[in-house]
Chain A
Amino acid sequence: MDGVGVQSWVILSAILFVLGLFCVLTRRNALGILMGIELVLNAASLNVVALAHYASLGRDGQLFAIFVIMLAAAEAAIGLAIVLGIYQSFETIDVDATDRLRG
């Protein structure tokens, strides 16, 4: 790890974040959006762990990462439940088709 600088980790996480964001914004499939969110969260976790390591903050960054993973798990469970609910109501999981809450 020592050979690799903090910039590399930040760039990696930025790439991951952008990929996740792209996925979230472009997918019409609800499951795709959930996957994109996972990527965004992982990018954030990576960022936190890396920065904590180089700032010599001990295990704080890893603790935060574990929190984020737990959060992601909970989010995935709820998100999938919502997707199932949407499917039962609309027979589709295309998010553009489910606009009943339009103002």
Chain B
Amino acid sequence: MMPIYCDQAATSFPKPKAVVEAISSFLTNTSGSPGRSAHRYAIEAGRAVFEARETIAVFFNCPSSEQVIFTANVTESLNLVLLGLLQPGDHVVTTSMEHNSVMRPLQYLRESRNVDFTVVSCDDQGQLDPEDIRRVLRSETRFVVVNHASNVTGTILPIEAVGEIKGDAFFLVDTAQSAGVIPIDMQEAGIDFLAFTGHKSLLGPTGIGGLCLSKDIRLNPLKRGGTGSRSESWAHPDFLPDRYESGTPNTLGIAGLDAGIRFIREQGIERIRDHELQLIRQMMEGLGGIRGVKIYGPQAADEKTAIVSLNIEGKSPSEVCLTLDRKYGIMTRGGLQCAPIAHKTIGTFPDGTVRLSLGYFNTMEEVDQVIRAIDEISRR
């Protein structure tokens, strides 16, 4: 039994060879501390970090590479923005398809800083009407926060339309599920803060993420410490990118992420998306004919990322996931996928769904095997 990895929305696997080589080469050849010395290994590490920023800036059309900030993951990026800017009395508008990485910081800020927020309801496919956002904007609305693609249903939300109607509020977009598979031009989409993670469709390793800033909007940093700059002073530097990055960075992760994005650029993001669309169309078609299988979210493949969220009548998601793994070697994720509000929106709270998520390295043969397995399970 060949294992079949269908948990790409959690983290992508396998990684491109170039990513593995970039990390391995770093560990083998030049593992200096970037920006901390002027010896050649430190410079090599510094260059790796610098070049990765340049790659990312071009990839998302961020105006300048120092406006690319590295974090551990998209959760840290979202926390940096929300905790770093919101003040008592501020208001935030968000959607009912968000992940806990947005909802929990907002709930914390509501309780601790008297920040108010409004959740705009999406329909039962997870789709957002941007007009519903416009209706709840207030003069004190500081942020509109939107998940570009749902980690539960894959639904792609219309960020360009939201960018047009958000008014004076800052626009924060969570691209955890979309970056690397759907082209994003942050200036075109009117995004002020683009939060990304490196280990999903950007094909890098875990432990690396980041934030792209449209301009130098001053946030209160989450941490302060050594930056390799202004070492004589106890005052933390206020310039980018050092303002938000202290301590030795995840150079290995950064080098791997750079290689991941270069791989995407070489392959072509359209080609990657096309492949995933083919997989998901076949999967939807195959599963659609199985009695007792209910698929949630958009039925049209091009309205979503490569995710199929489903339930089998009379069976719990955890039971199905376990059988898929143990009997068929098919790895999926069951339950709420850290997004209870999205499950409330699509009507699957509190049990959740079985989430099959595919990626560039999945094959049509694997899709056929998954369909056969789900069919067998549904008959039991």
Q: Do A and B come from one complex?
A: no
